[in-house]
Structure 1
Amino acid sequence: MRALSCLIALSLSGAAFAQEVPCGGDFQTFKAGLRDEAVAMGHDAEVARRFLSGARQDSSVLRRDRAQGIFQTPFIEFSRKLISQDRLDRGRQLSQRWDEVFDRIERDYGISRGVLLAFWAFETDYGAFQGDFNTLNALVTLAHDCRRPEIFRPQIFAAMELYERGDFDPATTTGAWAGEIGMVQMLPRDILENGMDGDGDGHVTLKTSAPDALLSGAKMLSELGWRHGEPWLQEVVLPADMDWSQTGLETTMSVAEWERLGVRAREGALDDGRLEASILLPQGRGGPSFIAYPNFRVYFEWNQSFTYVMTAAYFASRLEGASVYDPGNPDPGLSGEQMLALQRALDAKGYDVGGIDGILGAGTRSAVRDMQARLGLPADGWPTIELLNLL
């Protein structure tokens, strides 16, 4: 489920590990190293040779990898681009069409159907656009590139194992530019670990079988920590005297504690008072407000873009019957260049903003909130021109 972002949300990270992964250099020598490693892992030498023989570099993959500007878009604009009445209508139609599959997911994994439908919609428009990049070429290109080889090199060997099972063709298997396959866009190792034969044909076919794709996605969410039968995100109304510094993912309180502080559900009631939750303001105190339950954090195990996660979680609630959020009247945000300038200023003051990339991610939001508090501004984590000028 990463086609739209293609920012891989795996927990493989760390500079020390990255330095141990071979990358770069002559491409044919690099491929020979892959073959040797595959044999050392127990793969047949001839199978490894056949599997890798036609692999080539794809420069268009690298261009896509370096172009992530969509995540500089604020939540309101981003969500309005992705959520349409047509997508809502088709999602509800597919919910009925695959009712038995969703019933099974809800029974076995405790994951509400809106969650899977939202991912299905955003990643491939319900299977209509699954990507036409050769998957092996994409994985080998990104493993050869020295930016994130520790993420992509293991996926090559996972794809080789799928090939040995008859579920991957190095010449014809296609998907997203970052190697994800199928209706809900899963990487080869995710397929090995979480693939489900939902239609009973003896194969895990994520490109053409909705039951396989949906059940595999549900199993993966469950393995990532989804809590059975619990909520994920809900719109709230906040009190006028809210302490804005308490907002953000860094602060959690029980739902009952938030209620005592005056937080109210915009529709219905908040969930179990014992659940730990955070208050999120994707565009500051002037914009929409949400309470994020523990399951919301699982989204970040799948995709690390705050804007994408907020939008996917919100769309899931819409598919479950929630109303359109109140957009409020947020303060104007920063342009891409202004965001870069802000991140440089925060970095110079010792804050870890998670990279100077012009994207308002969790690290930048946390740094903004702390700096706002230091400067006597409302500490809502939403960067403004006023804050930038003060810095």
Structure 2
Amino acid sequence: MKLCLPLAALLFSATTALAAPTCGGSFSGFVQGLADEARAKGHDAATVKRFFSGTRQDGAVLKADRAQGVFQLDFTTFARRLISNDRMKRGLSNAKKYDAVFNRVERDYGVSRGVLLAFWAFETDYGAFQGDFNTLNALVTLAHDCRRPHLFRPQVFAALELYKHGDFDPATTTGAWAGEIGMVQMLPQDILDNGVDGDGDGHVRLKSSAPDALLSGAKMLKHLGWKAGQPWLQEITVPANMDWSKTGIDTTLPLSQWEAMGIHPRTGQWAANLPGSVILPQGHKGPAFLAYPNFHVYFEWNQSFTYVLTAGYFATRLMGAPVFDAGNPDPGLSGAQMKQLQRKLEARGHHVGKVDGILGANTRKAVQIEQKHLGLPADAWPTTELLGKL
């Protein structure tokens, strides 16, 4: 689960920050620094020694961290790749198998079973593939790497707490390359804060217990701001012409205003009379959705626009929504063209983040601004026409 971590988990004492570097240097020296800090935090010396005794750097973790090319795919391609008939069938089967657990999820946390089923499917294929990276090695490797030590260093100490509780084995606990554990892939701090013993065995074991994993995931979503019983996403139809600059996740308007512009549910009625944002993942000629307030919580789980939209859409499918209308969008850009576009946008003063060929939130914002400036439909979908005009 790729989550924004609690602020408290990201802070270090001034004395600790001065005592040792927070990243880099020799790996063995870095591990020793972690052990020293753990003892300074009050952990028993023998426990700390056992916990860190076999820690090693994992080059495969760093390689995986730098190669996330799947997010260069457009929404339709990505969704069709992730949502197979088999995943649909197994999702519906698991909904029945764990009906009592999902009833508890909905009662205690107000999260639809479709939402948890979609995450369960995408993160680990319903628990079948939970990752084979040694979790402690992954966390320490990423904490040592100076790209995002503030994210991963606190997770090492959270894993130590889980170890003391009997819910983490530094030698045998495995998971994703970024340190997430279990069927719905939660980081150690998230497990500490939101772990639920769903099966009543006295432990929170997200790798082997579906009730633990599903209830913990639901509690996490509620903690992140999920509103009980509210929808998250609904497919819509949009008129041939409107002010496309009003679309995008950052613009939220009342339902009445969207209706006045000619926007309607593709099937049935509105899911709720709530404000929302019109999302056009492939421009005004492609698929169209209305994102309700709960949809924003998805970005606390994973910050990839394409991933969260696909997860949100799959959740609606598992709850009975039809296959989306792909429309006939203008062809998108290749990875190389996207990088070229990002460099051009940067040259015009936009902050797109890393030039990585991925159409992320910052790149979409910049594209929409330039489209409006150039008199093109400002739908945040970059085309070769835009690239040429820039």
d(CA) in 2 for partners of 1:177 and 1:12?
Answer: 23
User: How far apart in 1 are the matches of 2:145 and 2:29?
Assistant: 14
8 Å contact kept, 1:255–1:271 = no
Instruction: Report deviation, 1:150.
Output: 0.6
CA positional deviation for 1:342: 0.4
Whole-angstrom CA distance in 2 between matches of 1:337 and 1:111: 40
Give the structure 1 partner of residue 254 of structure 2: 254
Residues 265 and 292 of structure 1, relative CA distance in 2, 3 Å threshold: same
SS at match of 1:92: helix
Cα deviation for residue 9 of structure 1 reads: 4.3
Please state if 1:265 is matched with 2:276: no
- 1:121 pairs with 2:130: no
Deviation at 1:12, TM superposition (A): 6.3
Matches of 1:343 and 1:51 in 2, distance apart? Answer: 44
Work out whether residues 286 and 330 of structure 1, in 8 Å CA contact, stay in contact via their aligned partners in 2. Answer: yes
Contact 1:11 1:301 in 2 (8 A): no
Partner of 2:381: 382
Aligned letter for 1:375? L
Whether contact under 8 Å (1:10, 1:302) holds in the other structure is no
C-alpha deviation, 1:258, in angstroms: 1.1
CA distance 1:79–1:9, change in 2 (3 Å): farther
Structure 1 residue 25 corresponds to structure 2 residue 21: no
Q: Distance in 2 between matches of 1:332 and 1:147?
A: 34
**1 CA distance for matches of 2:347 and 2:85?**
44
Aligned positions of 1:48-63 closer than 5 A: 48-63=48-63
| Shift, 1:276, TM fit | 1.7
The equivalent of 1:332 in structure 2 is 331
Contact 2:231 2:272 in 1 (8 A): no
Between the aligned partners of 1:180 and 1:32, the Cα distance in structure 2 is: 23
C-alpha distance after superposition, 1:24-82 (max 9, x if no partner): 11111111110111111121122111101110000000000000100000000000000
Aligned to 2:240: 240
**Secondary structure of the residue that 2:327 maps to in structure 1?**
coil
Query: Quick check: 1:57–1:141 contact (8 Å CA) kept in 2?
Result: yes
Q: CA deviation at 1:134?
A: 0.4
**How many Å separate the matches in 2 of 1:115 and 1:255?**
23
Inter-partner Cα distance in structure 2 for 1:256 and 1:108: 32
Residue pair 2:281, 2:381 contacting (<8 A) in 1 also: yes
CA distance in 1, matches of 2:42, 2:275: 45
**C-alpha distance in 2, partners of 1:271/1:99?**
23
User: 1:5 — aligned with what?
Assistant: none
| Deviation per residue, 1:247-268 (Å, 9 max, x gap) | 0012110112211221100011
- Counterpart of 1:34 in structure 2: which amino acid? L
Q: Deviations over 1:174-212 (max 9, x none)?
A: 001110000000000000000000000100010010000
Do the aligned partners of 2:61 and 2:177 also contact (CA within 8 Å) in 1? yes
Equivalence for 2:41: 41
Q: Secondary structure at the match of 2:372?
A: helix
**Counterpart residue type for residue 28 of structure 2:** Q
* Partner secondary structure for residue 276 of structure 1: coil
Q: Secondary structure at the match of 1:152?
A: helix
TM-score (norm 1): 0.95
Please list the CA deviations of residues 250-290 of structure 1 after superposition, one character each: whole Å capped at 9, or x if unmatched.
211011221122110001111332x2200000000110000
Post-superposition Cα deviations, 1:82-106, rounded to whole Å, max 9, x if no partner, equal 0011100100000000001101111
* Equivalence map 1:209-248=2 (5 Å): 209-248=209-248
Paired residues for 1:169-184 under 5 Å: 169-184=169-184
C-alpha change, 1:11 and 1:262, in structure 2 (3 Å) is farther
Query: Aligned residue for 2:296?
Result: 297
Q: Within 2, Cα distance between the matches of 1:159 and 1:114?
A: 29
Distance 2:327 2:210 in 1: 38
SS in 1 for 2:278: strand
Q: Deviations over 1:109-136 (max 9, x none)?
A: 1111000000000000000000011000
Q: Which amino acid aligns with 2:167?
A: D
Identity percentage of aligned residues: 67
Question: Is residue 175–residue 181 contact of structure 1 (8 Å, CA) maintained in 2?
Answer: yes
- RMSD of aligned residue pairs (Cα, Å): 1.7
| 1:309 aligned onto 2:316 | no
Kindly indicate whether residue 337 of structure 2 is the aligned counterpart of residue 323 of structure 1.
Answer: no
With 350-359 and 327-336 compared, the bigger mean Cα shift is at 350-359
Q: 1 CA distance for matches of 2:100 and 2:370? A: 50
Number of residue pairs the alignment of both structures matches:
383
Does the aligned pair in 2 maintain the 1:372–1:387 contact within 8 Å?
Answer: yes
The alpha carbon displacement at 1:355 in A equals 2.1
Contact 1:233 1:314 in 2 (8 A): yes
Structure 2 counterpart of 1:281: 280
Counterpart CA distance in 2 for 1:229 and 1:339 is 39
Does the residue aligned with 2:276 lie in a helix, a strand or coil? strand
Q: Matches of 1:365 and 1:27 in 2, distance apart?
A: 38
Which residue number corresponds to residue 162 of structure 1?
162
1:332 partner SS: coil
Matches of 1:138 and 1:313 in 2, distance apart? Answer: 28
